[in-house]
Amino acid sequence: MTLQDDQGRPEPPLASGEAETLVGFLEYQRATFAWKCSGLDVAGLNATVGASTMTLGGMLKHLAYYEDHWFSHRMRGNKRQAMWNDDYWDADPDWEWNSAAQDSPEDLHALWHEAVSRSRDLLSETLVDGGLDQPARRSFPDGRMPSVRWIVVHMIEEYARHNGHADLIRESVDGLVGE
């Protein structure tokens, strides 16, 4: 049984193997992000703080893209999901951030949850098929190949960084605070 904190986030294991510990911290960061974005309407998901144009809605779409990019496209070598067609970025390099303002909260949450679900399945399969040491199936443009471990740690970092942004934005929307 996985222990949960007061916000319903799964506690990372205190004494497990490397893969379980890394996945535990990734799941904790994902749950923190979900908590920070929960229960908000369009205005809440489009709120900004200070000079930044970053929004929680934009983060939902950006992190959905990153889930698919790293776990499906890079790690497993799959083609991109149709909605991540590169044509969007030709007109706007920040397309996923900017286009989120036109999406409903329900659509943004569904997009992110579906991407996370796919990523969980792909990571589980990959760990069974060879663990963290194996290389990704798609290299960087310069030919370097990250390991599965690198991808998992990178995604923990990506969520942790954006959770800091989400803390500030959510507090400005309705005062919700917490780690």
| Residue 121 identity (one-letter amino acid) | D
Per-residue model confidence (pLDDT) at position 141: 92
Per-residue model confidence (pLDDT) at position 19: 95
Q: Give how far Cα 7 sits from Cα of 3, 157, 175, 177, Å.
A: 11, 21, 16, 11
At residue 157 the predicted structure's pLDDT band, cuts being 50, 70 and 90, is very high
At residue 179 the predicted structure's pLDDT band, cuts being 50, 70 and 90, is confident
At residue 24 the predicted structure's pLDDT band, cuts being 50, 70 and 90, is very high
For residue 153, pLDDT over 80 is answered with: yes
Residues 30 and 17: their CA atoms lie apart, in Å, by: 20
| Among candidate residues 2, 1, 74, 67, the one with its CA nearest the CA of residue 33 | 67
At residue 170 the predicted structure's pLDDT band, cuts being 50, 70 and 90, is very high
Per-residue model confidence (pLDDT) at position 79: 93
Residues 135 and 151: their CA atoms lie apart, in Å, by: 10
Global pTM value? 0.92
Q: Give how far Cα 56 sits from Cα of 77, 115, 123, Å.
A: 29, 16, 25
Per-residue model confidence (pLDDT) at position 1: 67
CA angle 32, 37, 38 (to 5 degrees): 95
pLDDT digits (tens, 9 = 90+) for 64-107: 999 999 999 999 999 998 888 878 888 899 999 999 999 999 99
For residue 114, pLDDT over 70 is answered with: yes
What is the overall mean pLDDT for the chain?
A: 94
Q: Residue range 128-149: average pLDDT?
A: 95
For residue 160, pLDDT over 90 is answered with: yes
Given a contact cutoff of 8 angstroms between Cβ atoms, the answer to whether 71 and 119 are in contact is: yes
Q: Residue range 18-41: average pLDDT?
A: 96
